[in-house]
Structure 1
Amino acid sequence: MILEIVEYITFGDFNTKSHGWYLVSRDAPTPEEKEVLENLLYSQGALDFSMMNDERYFNNRIITYEFKLPNTRYADRKTAEREIKSALMRIGKSRLTDTHDEGFYWYGKCKSVKVQDDAKKKALIATIEFDCYPFLTAMDDYFDDVWDDFSFEYSVANWTKWEITGKQVIPVFNPGDTTIIPKIISSSNIVINFEGTDYQFSSGENENVLLKIPPRKLALFTITGNADVSFRFPREVLG
């Protein structure tokens, strides 16, 4: 009896399921922190300056998979080896999707593909390493209002669009684990005041790198103008 492949990954145009590879194991440890430590004379322990604005910063993480191609003739195993190495190593950075992380994707490049041939069991074992951005990114931007994908455990319901007439205070919550810079989509020119600073936005889709919302924080934007205004931003989490 042939077991159905339930868990798989896609990278570029390569899908492990469609090529008959069975997932054996995955390893996605938490990323290493970018630590800034200072050991001062006449001071106990070390001073840690790693955090800024209540946020921790990380290096890329290495995600390792082991896949098995069972019950395959020797000639076909050699073809499969060339195929998986070429498909994964020939492209640069791309989305890595994993059925384990439904609704999210990793972003990075394939670091190595090591293949071991098991002639006795007529199988091929592939160990694949990906060098990825430390956070998982949601497939859809926050405020896309995709109800079918709404997570009652992790998501926060909020209005996606406001009609501003004059001046209004708008709450925008960042549910992710990283600071975000929202895209502001407005039907006409507006001014957004946040924590005492005014930010000018023209009609259309714009962003200002100085207008940021820290992770897990509620921002109160005071918007002045007459326009339909909406916000969009990616949600990134430590998976």
Structure 2
Amino acid sequence: MFKGIEFDGKHSYKDFGLTISNPDIGIPSKIKNTERVPHSNVEYDFSSIYGGQEYEERTLTYTFNLAYREKAEYFYLYEAEALRWLMTPNEKKVLKDDRIPGYYFLAEVMTSGNEFKFVGGTLTVSFKAYPFMIAELREGNDIWDEFNFLLDYAQDTTFDISGTKEVTLYNPGVSIVYPKIVTTAGMKVTKGNTTYNISTGTTESYDFFLVPGENKINISGTGNISFEFYKELI
């Protein structure tokens, strides 16, 4: 089976018979916030002042091979069919690349261009995407067959609390993540010098985040609490 991409629920080869050449998922650029001390050669970098490095959106580029079968003008019909699929979404949609199993991008088509020749033709499409590829499986899963010894980290993300307990959550990605917190009772979660009051049920907030690497947390209360998050990689 030819490898391809799945975008907005449809696959380039399985649904359209398109093969791909020259795939390029790009690398996002860092956003640097620097200030130079006047009359000196010293420059300070404030890019990670809030705990993580920011990145520009990345560009994904794929060249689809549109081979016509009967008449030369059919190339444009195949192109129209492919463009209808690719250009219809007006927001970022899930894009899965068969070459990178277990991860997906959030992307939207921004530009396209074709090249028509007597022996066939190509359609090159560029997507603007969220900077990181996102894991399909959440951290703390116990699916051993999917474990990757290079990229994954075995850890607990669900805890039974009775009183106060210190736990460690490890963010194996390169970006700050904002976990969904699910509790069976109200609890206090302390990270660093900040304490968060977590209500019963599901809590999602940009106030509470995990930096890349180790995050030590103190939890006070009685009940069960879980942190649901997904690693994000370059």
TM-score, length of structure 1 as denominator length: 0.88
Match of 1:225 among 221, 228, 233: 221
Instruction: For residues 25-59 of structure 1, give each alpha carbon's deviation from its aligned partner in whole angstroms, at most 9, with x where no partner exists.
Output: 11222112222244554222754433324532111
Amino acid in the other structure paired with 1:214? V
Contact 2:68 2:74 in 1 (8 A): no
Question: 1:39-188 counterparts in 2 under 5 A?
Answer: 39-44=36-41, 46-53=43-50, 55-70=52-67, 72-73=69-70, 74-92=72-90, 93-119=92-118, 121=119, 123-188=120-185
- Which of 196, 209, 214 is the equivalent residue of 2:211? 214
- CA 1:76–1:14 in 2, change beyond 3 Å: closer, same or farther? farther
The verdict on how the C-alpha distance between 1:231 and 1:13 changes in structure 2, with shifts beyond 3 A counting, is closer
In structure 1, what is the Cα distance between the partners aligned to 2:66 and 2:187? 57
Unaligned regions of 5+ residues in structure 2, if any?
none
Distance 1:107 1:68 in 2: 23
Structure-2 separation of matches of 1:126 and 1:207: 41
Of all paired residues, the percent bearing the same amino acid is: 25
Cα distance, 1:193 vs structure 2:
1.8
SS of the equivalent of 2:230 reads coil
Q: Identify the residue that residue 236 of structure 1 maps to in structure 2.
A: 232
In the superposition, relative to structure 1, how do residues 40 and 171 fare at CA in structure 2: closer, same or farther (>3 Å)?
A: closer
- Contact kept? 1:60, 1:134, Cα under 8 Å: yes
Is the Cα contact below 8 Å between 1:14 and 1:88 reproduced in 2? no
Distance between the aligned counterparts of 1:43 and 1:125, measured in 2? Answer: 53
Q: Distance in 1 between matches of 2:134 and 2:173?
A: 9
- Amino acid of the structure 2 residue aligned with 1:57: E
1:61-85 superposed Cα distances (whole Å, 9 cap, x missing partner): 1111112133633243222111011
Aligned partner of 1:105: which letter? Y
Query: 5+ residue gaps in structure 1?
Result: none
Secondary structure, aligned partner of 2:65: strand
Cα 1:196/1:47, change in 2 over 3 Å: closer
* Aligned-residue CA RMSD (Å): 1.9
Give, in whole Å, the separation in 1 of the partners of 2:192 and 2:51: 17
1:46 and 1:219 mapped to 2: Cα distance? 29
Alpha-carbon distance between aligned partners in 2 of 1:200 and 1:57, rounded to the nearest angstrom: 28
| Normalised TM-score (structure 2) | 0.90
Moved more, 46-55 or 157-166: 46-55
Change (3 A) 1:116 1:14: farther
**In 1, Cα distance between equivalents of 2:221 and 2:56:** 41
Matched residues, number: 231
